Structure 1
Amino acid sequence: MTRDDAETILTEAGEASDGDFPLLEAAIACAVHEEPERDPQSARDLAQAGVERLTQRLSSESPEEALAETLSGDLRLSGDLFTYEDPDNADVVAVAARRKGLPVALGIYYLHVARRCGLVVQGVDFPGHFLLRIETDEGPLALDPFSEGRVVLPSELTRRALHAGLTPNVADRLDRLMAPVPDRAVLIRLQNNIFARAAAVKDFARAERAALRRALLDPKDHRPWLDVAAAREGQGALAGALEALAKATTLDGGAALAARAQRERVRLRLN
C-alpha cells in the first residue's frame, strides 16, 4: 500500500456514515500513510486472532473479563509505560509488532475485536486518557485499554476527571464521563495526538501528514486545514499553506476569522 492508496482509503472512510465507518482499516491506512510500503497484514492478523480467542472465552467468562483477558493476556497488548512518547505507540501496525501503545491505539483493537464477537463497546473521549465503554447485564462499565483492560470504578472516574480539571458538578456525572463517541472521533483523537507531539518537536512534515489525515477523515471540518497550513508554513511551503487556509475558509463559509487573518499574514510573507 502506498501513501496515495492510504489517502484513497481515508477519503472513502471520511465519506462513510458513522455507522459504516471502517475503524480498523482506516487506522491501518493512517499508519501506512505515515510510513508507506509496509505490509499491514500483521495488524489484521492480530485482530483476527483476537476475534477467535474472544469467541472461545465468551462461552465461560463475562464480557468485560473475556475482552480484557483476550486483548491483554492472549494478545499481550498493554500500555507503553517506559517509552510513552515513542511515535510507534500511535501506529496500529507498529503496535501489532510491539504489543504496546497509547490508550487510543490499543482501544482500536479492543473495539474491533469486541464488535466482531457481538459485544457493544464504544470509545469514550475521556479528558486526558482514552477509555472504553462496554454494555453488560449490570449496566455500562468503563475499561482502560492502557491498563490491561481493567474496569475503572465510578469513584476512579470522578477522581481522574477532577485531576483533569473538570469541575466537581461535571466530574460526578457518570453519564457525561462515559458518553460514547463515534469511531471517527476515536481515530481523529489518535491523529490529534500525533499532530500535537510532532508540532511540539517541530517535526512539521509529520505534523502536516497527521493534520491531513484528520481533514480526510472529517471532510466537513475546517479546523484540520488550519493545522495543515501551520505545518506547511513551518516547512516554508507558503503557497501550500495558503491553499490549506483557502480550503478552511471555504469549508466554514468564511466564518473563521482566525483563518482569514492567518491567510493574510502568510500572503504578506510571500510578497
Structure 2
Amino acid sequence: MTQDEAESLLREAGKAGDDDFPLLEAAIACAVHEDPARNAEHARDLAKIGVERLSERLRRESPEEALAETMAGDLGLTGDLFTYEHPDNACVVAVAERRRGLPVALGIYYLHVARRCGLTVQGVDFPGHFLLRIETPEGPLALDPFSEGRVVLPSELTRRALHAGLTPNVADRLDRLMAPASDREVLIRLQNNVFARAANARDYGQAERAALRRALLDPLDHRPWLDVAAAREGQGALAGALQALATASALDGGAALAARAQRERVRLQLN
C-alpha cells in the first residue's frame, strides 16, 4: 500500500456508515499514511492468528477469559509501561511487530478479533485511558487492553473517573462510564494522540498528517481542519493554512468566527 492508496482508503472509510466502518484496515492505512515503509501484512497476519486462537478458546472458556488469554497470552499483546511515549505505540503495524502499544492501538486488535468470532465488543472512550466493553450473559464488563485484557471492576471505574476529574455524580454512573464509542471515534482517538504528541514535540509535519487523517475519517467535522491549519502555520506554509481555515469555516458556520479570526492573523503574516 502506498501513501496515496492509504489516503484513498481513509477517504472511503470516512464515507462509510458506523456499521460498515473498516476499523483494522483504516488503522493500517493510518500507519502507512504516516510511514509508507510499514509492512501492512504484519498487522493482518497478527489479526488472522488472533481469530484462529480465539475461535478455539471460545469452545471451552468464557468470552472475557478467552479474549484476554488470546490477545495477551497467545499473541503477547500488552501495554508499553517502560517506553510509553515511544511513537510506535500509536501505530498498529508497529504494535504487531513489537507486541506493545497504547490502550487504543491494542484495543483495535481486540475489537477486530472479537467481532470476527461473534463477540459483541465495543470501545469505551473513557477519560484518560481507553477501555473495552464486552457483553456477557451476566451483563457488560469493562476490559483493559493495556493490562492484558483484565476485567475492570465498577469500583475501579469510579476511582479512575474521579482521578480523571469527573464529578462524583458522573463517576458513579456506570452506564455513562461504559457508553460505547463508534469504531470511527476509536480510530480518531488514536490519531488525536498522534497529533497531540507531534504538536508538543513541534513536529508540525507529523501533526499535519495526523490532523489530515482525522479530517478524512470524519469529513463533516470542522475541527481537524483547524489543527491542519495550525500545523501548516508551524511549518511556515501560510497559504496552506489559509486554505485549511477556509475549509473549516465552510464545514461549520459555528466555527466561522474563530476560524476567521485565525485566518486574519495568518493573512497578516503574508503581507
Per-residue CA distance 1:3-60 (angstroms, 9 max, x = gap)? 1111000000000000000000000000000001332001000000000000000000
* Counterpart residue number, 1:246: 246
**How far apart are residue 174 of structure 1 and its match?**
0.1
Comparing 255-264 with 115-124, greater Cα deviation is found at 255-264
Residue equivalent to 1:23: 23
- Tell me the equivalent position of 2:127: 127
Separation in 1 of the partners of 2:214 and 2:255?
20
- Hey, what does 1:112 align to over in structure 2? 112
Stretches of 4+ moved more than 2 A in 1? 253-256
Partners of 2:255 and 2:85 in 1: how far apart? 36
The 2-side partners of 1:121 and 1:255 are apart by 35
Aligned to 1:55: 55
Of all paired residues, the percent bearing the same amino acid is 83
State the Cα RMSD in Å: 0.7
Give 1:258 deviation, angstroms: 1.2
C-alpha separation in 1, matches of 2:37 and 2:260: 37
- Partner residue of 1:83? 83
* Pair 1:13-2:2 in alignment: no
User: How far is 1:256 from its partner?
Assistant: 2.9
- Rounded to whole Å, the distance in 2 between the matches of 1:256 and 1:93 is 37
Deviations 1:145-198 (A, max 9, x none): 000000000000000000000000000000000000100000000000000000
Equivalents in 1 of 2:102, 2:255: separation in Å? 35
TM-score normalized by structure 1? 0.99
Q: Determine the C-alpha separation between the residues in 2 that align with 1:53 and 1:260.
A: 53
1:269 equivalent in structure 2: 269
Pairing of 1:47-196 with structure 2 (within 5 A):
47-196=47-196
Instruction: Look up the SS of the partner of 2:253 in the other structure.
Output: coil
Measured in 2, the distance between the counterparts of 1:60 and 1:158 equals 32
- Deviation sequence 1:183-226 (CA, Å, 0-9, x none): 00000000000000000010000000000000000000000000
Deviates more, 1:248-257 or 1:36-45: 248-257
Mean CA deviation greater in 155-164 or 1-10: 1-10
Secondary structure of 1:239's counterpart equals: helix
Match of 2:198 in 1: 198
Give structure 1 stretches of 5+ with no counterpart.
none
After TM superposition, the structure 1 = structure 2 runs for residues 26-37 of structure 1, keeping only pairs within 5 Å, are 26-37=26-37
Q: Which deviations, in whole Å up to 9, do the C-alpha atoms of 1:73-121 show, x marking residues without a partner?
A: 0000000000000000000000000000000000000000000000000
Whether contact under 8 Å (2:31, 2:38) holds in the other structure is no
Alignment partner, residue 220 of structure 1: 220
Give 1:254 shift: 5.9
Letter in 2 for 1:192: N
Which secondary structure state, in structure 2, belongs to the residue aligned with residue 115 of structure 1? helix
Aligned equivalents of 2:244 and 2:154: distance in 1? 43
Instruction: Give the Cα separation in 2 of the matches to 1:39 and 1:202.
Output: 27
- State the SS of the aligned residue for 1:123: strand
Matched AA of 2:34? E
